[in-house]
Amino acid sequence: MPDKLVIRPEEDGKSLGEVLRKRGFSRRLRCRLKRTEGGMSRDGELIRTVDKVFEGEEIDLAPEEIPTLEASTDIPDVPVLYEDREVVVFDKPAGMPVHPSIKHQGDTLGNYFAKRYKGLPFRPVNRLDRCTSGCVIVAKSQFSAAALQGRFGKKYLAVCCGDPGETGKIDAPIARAEDSIITRCVREDGKEASTLFRRLRTGEKYSLCEVTPLTGRTHQIRVHFAHIGFPLAGDSLYGGSTEDIGRQALHCISVSFVSPDDDENHIISSPLPADMESLIP
Cβ-contact 31, 87 below 8 angstroms = no
What is the SS3 assignment for the chain? CCEEEECCHHHCCCEHHHHHHHCCCCHHHHHHHHHCCCCEEECCEECCCCCECCCCCEEEECCCCCCCCCCCCCCCCCCEEEECCCEEEEEECCCCCCCCCCCCCCCCHHHHHHHHCCCCCCEECCCCCCCCEEEEEEECCHHHHHHHCCCEEEEEEEEEECCCCCEEEEECCEEECCCCCCCEEECCCCECCEEEEEEEEECCCEEEEEEEECCCCCCHHHHHHHHCCCCECCCHHHCCCCCCCCCCCEEEEEEEEECCCCCCEEEEECCCCHHHHCCCC
Q: Catalytic amino acids? A: 129
